[in-house]
């Protein structure tokens, strides 16, 4: 009897989910004007998937204004990483703010330490899309020592996109 009740309850909870997941018919342009607009937009977009991914990564890094730091380990705290980032010479030029609320962040840095090792890792990702923009690891005896090289790598990645010289900006179209 209990088995029957469980099956009935399970079936009733899944029915709305199954109905909601039925494929929807794609909308098609009804006029020739809409069709030409779609083809023009497709012609203006980058052609290769690598071009699209690369431009999206650079655009995410360039437009970001805030960073949230999340630590998955007690060996490398958020405050240690914040201090290490702020000590970098190009940090002020980047125009980024470190915030403590993950909901308002544009970028997220997750730091961790692999268990039973001296390897500390970081992942820089776009909070809105979840795309991983950069990741690397640093071998150091503790988190305080690892924070410096990690911060240096992160600022170097951000500086490459955000602090382009005027000469480089002019040469990009060629």
Report how far residue 103's alpha carbon sits from residue 33's, in angstroms, rounded to the nearest whole number. 40
- The structural domains of the chain, ordered by start, are 58-162 (3.40.50.11830)
| The two three-digit tokens of residue 105, written as one number | 């962040």
Sheet with 119-126, edge to edge strand ranges: 97-99, 66-71, 107-113, 119-126, 132-139
Long-range CB pairs of 69-73, under 8 A, 24+ apart, other chains included = 69/98, 69/108, 69/109, 69/111, 70/102, 70/108, 70/109, 70/110, 70/111, 71/110, 71/111, 71/112, 72/110, 72/111, 72/112, 72/113, 73/111, 73/112, 73/113, 73/120, 73/143
User: Tens-digit pLDDT profile for the chain (174 aa)?
Assistant: 666 555 665 555 555 544 444 444 444 444 445 444 444 554 454 555 555 556 788 899 999 999 999 999 999 999 999 999 999 999 999 999 999 999 999 999 999 999 999 999 999 999 999 999 999 999 999 999 999 999 999 999 999 999 875 555 555 554
């Amino acid at each position: 009897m209990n088995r029957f009740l469980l099956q009935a309850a399970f079936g009733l909870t899944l029915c709305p989910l199954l109905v909601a997941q039925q494929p929807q018919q794609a909308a098609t342009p009804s006029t020739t004007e809409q069709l030409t607009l779609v083809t023009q937009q497709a012609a203006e977009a980058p052609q290769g998937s690598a071009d699209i991914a690369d431009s999206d990564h650079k655009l995410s890094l360039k437009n970001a204004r805030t960073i949230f730091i999340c630590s998955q380990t007690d060996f490398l705290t958020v405050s240690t990483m914040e201090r290490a980032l702020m000590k970098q010479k190009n940090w002020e030029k980047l125009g980024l703010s470190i915030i403590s609320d993950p909901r308002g962040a544009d970028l997220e840095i997750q730091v961790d330490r692999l268990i039973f090792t001296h390897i500390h890792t970081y992942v820089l990702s776009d909070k809105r899309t979840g795309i991983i923009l950069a990741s690397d690891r640093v071998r150091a005896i503790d988190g305080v020592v690892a924070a410096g090289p990690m911060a240096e790598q992160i600022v170097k990645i951000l500086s490459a996109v955000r602090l382009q010289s005027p000469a480089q900006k002019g040469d990009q179209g060629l």
